[in-house]
Structure 1
Amino acid sequence: MLDLSRHVLGETDTPVPLETSDDCRAAATELVRQGHRTLLIFTHDLDRKVYDDADFIDAVSALARRHHLSWVRILVQDMEPVIHGRHRLVELAGRLTSRIEIRHAHPDHRSFNKAYLVVDDTGLLLRDTARGYSGSVNFYAPHAAREYAALFHKAWDVGERDPNLNRLHL
C-alpha cells in the first residue's frame, strides 16, 4: 500500500510513482485531505475506483466546507458512466451546489489523454493516460500544478453543465 504519511502539501517536493487504482485513490485522498481552498479534477469518466470512495468523498466534503472561499471543479470528458449510475461524488455535488460544480468537457477537450487533480495550485496528481493508473503525485509542484490548472481553466470556460445531472436522483 502506498505510504504518503510523510508527505505534506506545499512542502514535500518528492514525486511518488503511481501504478494502480489503489495508489491513485490513496494519493488523491491524501492530497485533498490536506487541501485548504481549491480542487480541480480533470477526468475521463469520474473513475469509480478513484473518485467513488468514502474516504475520498469525506476529504472533498471537508475541503469544500473548510472556508467560505473554498470550491471544487470537476471536468468530465465522458458523462455517460456518471449519468447512468450512482456516484457518491455526484451526490455530494448535488448537496453542495454552491461549492462543487461538475461540467462536461467541450468536444475540443474530450480527446486529451491524461487525467489529473490539482489541489491549491500546489499539489498535483498526474495520470499518464486518461484511463490508466500509472503516473505520479507530488505534494509540492507549484509550477507544474499551475500549468495544469491553467489548462483546466481554459477547458472549464468552454465546458458545459450537463442537463442530465439535474435529473439524477440525489
Structure 2
Amino acid sequence: MRDDAPDERSQYAELPAIDFHSPGRFAVHNPQAELAEPLPWEPAPFLLGESAELQRFNTPLEIRQHALALLQQATRTVCIYSPDLEPWLYHHSSIQQACARLLLAHPRNQLRILVGDPARAVKDGHRLLQLARRLTSNLHIRRLNPEYPDDSGAYAIVDGCGLLSRPKPDQYTGYALYRDPARVRLRQAQFDKAWDHGLSDANLRSFLL
C-alpha cells in the first residue's frame, strides 16, 4: 500500500451527520382473503305438507323466509322458474345450503331451474351455478325458450305440494302455499311444458363445464 494514498476512514469520518426526521407511521391495509359469509336467514314458521292456509307477502324479507322454509323442508324435488336467478333471493348461502342438502340426501332428488336470461348470473357469479358445477347429475338448468313463454311470473315448486309465487317478477307481492297439491299440480304442468322446450345456453354451458 502506498504511503501517499488517502485514508478512506478519515474521509468518511469527516462527512457531516444526516439530519433524518421520520414522517410517522403508516397503516397498511391488505385486502381480505375472501368476503365474510353472509348472516344466515331465518325460515318462515310453516310446515310443508301441513300448513294449508295461503300465506301472502309483499316484502323481500317475507319472500326470503318463505323460500328458505320451503327449500329446507324439500325431500324430493324442487322446480324454480326465475327471470334471471334473482340474486337478492337465490344468491345466498342459506339457499345454497338448503338445495345442497336436498340433492345430497338421495341420488334421485332433483333441482330443475328454468331461467329467462342467465347472462347476469353467469357474469356476476351465482351460488346456485356454483352448486350446479358440483352436482351435475341432479341439478339441471335450462333457458326459457322464447317460443314457449311462461307467463306465470316467478315461482318455485316444492315436492308437488308447496309453491312460492310472485305473479309479477318485478314486484315483491305474492303468496306461499305449503299444502295445496291441486293448485301446485297445475303450475307443475306449466313448468314441465316450458322445461321440455327449454334451451341449452352456450354461456351457461361453458360456465358449468
The TM-score by the shorter chain falls in which range?
A: over 0.9
For 2:162, the equivalent position in structure 1 comes to 123
Q: What is the alpha-carbon distance in structure 1 between the residues aligned to residue 94 and residue 42 of structure 2? A: 15
What is the DSSP-based 3-state SS (H/G/I as helix, E as strand, rest coil) of the residue aligned with 1:130?
A: coil
Q: Which of residues 153, 160, 163 in structure 1 aligns to 2:199?
A: 160
| Alignment: residue pair count | 169
For 1:52, the equivalent position in structure 2 comes to 91
Q: CA deviation at 1:17?
A: 1.0
Q: Which of residues 73, 80, 86 in structure 2 aligns to 1:34?
A: 73
Bigger share in helix: 1
Q: Which has the larger radius of gyration?
A: 2
For 1:11, the equivalent position in structure 2 comes to 50
What is the DSSP-based 3-state SS (H/G/I as helix, E as strand, rest coil) of the residue aligned with 1:41?
A: strand
Query: In the TM superposition, what are the counterparts of 1:1-170 in structure 2 within 5 Å?
Result: 4-5=44-45, 7-110=46-149, 112=151, 114-168=153-207
**CA distance change for structure 1 residues 35 and 3 in 2, over 3 Å: closer, same or farther?**
closer
**CA distance change for structure 1 residues 166 and 2 in 2, over 3 Å: closer, same or farther?**
closer
Question: Identity of paired residues, percent?
Answer: 34
Pairwise CA RMSD: 1.9
Unaligned runs of 5+ in 1: none
Q: What is the alpha-carbon distance in structure 1 between the residues aligned to residue 70 and residue 83 of structure 2? A: 20
Q: For each residue in 1:43-97, what CA deviation from the matched residue of structure 2 results, as whole angstroms up to 9, or x when unmatched?
A: 1110001100110110011111111210000000122212221101111011101
Q: CA deviation at 1:112?
A: 2.1
Q: What is the alpha-carbon distance in structure 2 between the residues aligned to residue 83 and residue 53 of structure 1? A: 15
Unaligned runs of 5+ in 2: 1-40
Q: What is the alpha-carbon distance in structure 1 between the residues aligned to residue 68 and residue 60 of structure 2? A: 12
Q: What is the alpha-carbon distance in structure 2 between the residues aligned to residue 41 and residue 148 of structure 1? A: 11
Q: What is the alpha-carbon distance in structure 1 between the residues aligned to residue 152 and residue 171 of structure 2? A: 10
Write the letter of the residue equivalent to 1:105: L
Q: For each residue in 1:134-159, what CA deviation from the matched residue of structure 2 results, as whole angstroms up to 9, or x when unmatched?
A: 10001101111111111000000000
